[in-house]
Amino acid sequence: MSTLWLIAKHEYKRHVMRRAYILILLSLPLMLTLMIGLIIATVNMENDDRPLGYVDQSGVLTEAIPAPLDSSLETPVEMIAYPIREDARAALDSGDIQAFYLLPDDYMETKHVELVYVDDIGDDATGQFWDFMRVNLMSNVPQGTVDFVTNGADITIRTPDGSREFSKSQILSLILPLLVGIGLVVLIMTSSGYLVGIVAEEKENRTIEILMTSISPNQLVTGKLLGIIGVVATQVTVWLGFLFGFIYLAANQFGYEWAQNISIESNTILMIVAVMVPAYVMFAALMTAIGSMVSATQEGQQLSGLVSLLLWLPMAFMGIIIESPNSPLVVGLSIFPASAPIVITMRTVFTVVPFWQLALSVTLLTATAGSAVWLAGRALRLGMLRYGQRLSLRELFRKA
């Protein structure tokens, strides 16, 4: 037992006490910040906050009321009235306004409006003028009705038995399973690096020959696996810490609605655990098997790339999964073990996955995971002291 502990501790320290590991820990929050920054930059590039002008000959906007903004993130675009077209044109030419609208005197009969601009108008400016028109067309209508038009109806989607419910403000709870799915795939990929190299490094520098004199292969691998699980657990804890910190900041410091209404049903958590645990075991065992079969670290990495590819493959079908989450192709993908973890979590977001599909998928995943563990143990025993030559698949499956 003490040897096992010793190996686990050594393996854990070997990975965690590296500068690269700190980089990996920080990579997720950094990537998140970078992505949010880039999205804000792109949105800003596409927006234009310069004022809009209008020339109203119909009298609809004589006593103009400003429209409320759709969200707190929007910058208000000022609406400036001009008495005649020439004035507005002069302001446009001098760059004071980005465009102007012209409402002719027969607007109320024809709805005809002319828009004059030089360069593309920002999307938010167009939307704000649209709302501005709507608000002023409803100047003597109750406020509730005006809000209904400018904000759109607040529609809650619910299943007939009431077990699942979704409205716009709960977007985070809805996509949470998907985030967990992607997070776990990333985790499998990062730990696969350690798993493939599980004995390859010891084999490369021949330490394994000495190790074998004092411990059994099973002890070695169990100890190493425990160490690697520790490394991965540390990583998950730190990432979750960042994620909760991020959500906490968004909810309490910036007051975003989507961050405040988070509720996850216990069924969803159960589903995630039921799918993800066998999925992780399956991939970890496969990676270990690869690591034990090959003779050099580099060779193992090339092979493990193929396995990771399998894991990411469902991303190619993302469009179909979102549009028709119950089509035969998608159901097939959510039952096939290699694609199941991602596809099942993605489908949970967009539909109710029938129980039989979930059960079948978990059963198949567990069975595959069991076989993969058996395969890994066998590969390890056969390939442990083999050098220069890769263990072939035929040898691996031949009767012992």
Q: Please give the Cα distance from 304 to 349 (Å, whole number).
A: 29
Q: Please give the Cα distance from 47 to 35 (Å, whole number).
A: 18
Q: How far is CA 84 from CA 74, 81, 106, 110, 263, in A?
A: 29, 9, 16, 20, 55
- Of residues 223, 240, 225, the one with CA closest to residue 191: 225
Find the binder of other proteins among 33, 75, 139, 151 (CB under 8 A): 151
Find the binder of other proteins among 3, 33, 42, 392 (CB under 8 A): 42
Q: Which is nearer to other proteins, 231 or 369 (CB)?
A: 231
Q: How far apart are the first and last CA of the chain?
A: 29
Q: Please give the Cα distance from 25 to 232 (Å, whole number).
A: 10
Q: Which is nearer to other proteins, 154 or 249 (CB)?
A: 154
Least distance in angstroms from the C-beta of 29 to other proteins:
17
| Cα-to-chain-centroid distance, residue 111 | 43
The reply on whether position 378 binds other proteins by CB under 8 A is no
With CB under 8 A as the contact rule, which of the stretches 132-140, 202-210, 249-257, 271-279 interacts with other proteins?
Answer: 132-140
Q: Which is nearer to other proteins, 42 or 392 (CB)?
A: 42
- Of residues 115, 123, 124, the one with CA closest to residue 69: 124
Nearest-10 Cα torsion for 164, 167, 173, 176 = 90
Least distance in angstroms from the C-beta of 222 to other proteins:
26
- Contact between 102 and 113 (Cβ < 8 Å): yes
The reply on whether position 153 binds other proteins by CB under 8 A is yes
| Cα-to-chain-centroid distance, residue 34 | 15
Find the binder of other proteins among 61, 79, 88, 133 (CB under 8 A): 133
Least distance in angstroms from the C-beta of 34 to other proteins:
9
Residues 6-35 that bind other proteins (CB under 8 A): 20
Least distance in angstroms from the C-beta of 35 to other proteins:
9
Q: How buried is residue 200: exposed, middle or buried, by Cβ count under 10 Å (0-12/13-18/19+)?
A: buried
Total of residues contacting other proteins (CB under 8 A): 61
Amino acid at 84: I
- Of residues 53, 43, 60, the one with CA closest to residue 78: 53
- Of residues 147, 128, 146, 130, the one with CA closest to residue 138: 146
The reply on whether position 396 binds other proteins by CB under 8 A is no
The reply on whether position 106 binds other proteins by CB under 8 A is no
Question: Rounded to 5 degrees, what angle do the CA atoms 370, 374, 375 make?
Answer: 115
Find the binder of other proteins among 30, 273, 329, 367 (CB under 8 A): 329
Residues 303-322 that bind other proteins (CB under 8 A): 320, 322
Q: Which is nearer to other proteins, 282 or 342 (CB)?
A: 342
With CB under 8 A as the contact rule, which of the stretches 7-15, 106-114, 203-211, 223-231 interacts with other proteins?
Answer: 106-114
Least distance in angstroms from the C-beta of 328 to other proteins:
6
With CB under 8 A as the contact rule, which of the stretches 68-76, 127-135, 184-192, 355-363 interacts with other proteins?
Answer: 127-135
Q: How far is CA 196 from CA 210, 290, 305, in A?
A: 21, 6, 10
The reply on whether position 148 binds other proteins by CB under 8 A is yes
Q: Which is nearer to other proteins, 27 or 363 (CB)?
A: 27
Binding positions for other proteins, rule: CB under 8 A: 20, 38, 41-42, 45-46, 92, 101, 110-120, 130, 133-134, 137-138, 141-142, 144-145, 147-149, 151-160, 164, 166, 174, 297-298, 301, 320, 322-330, 349-352
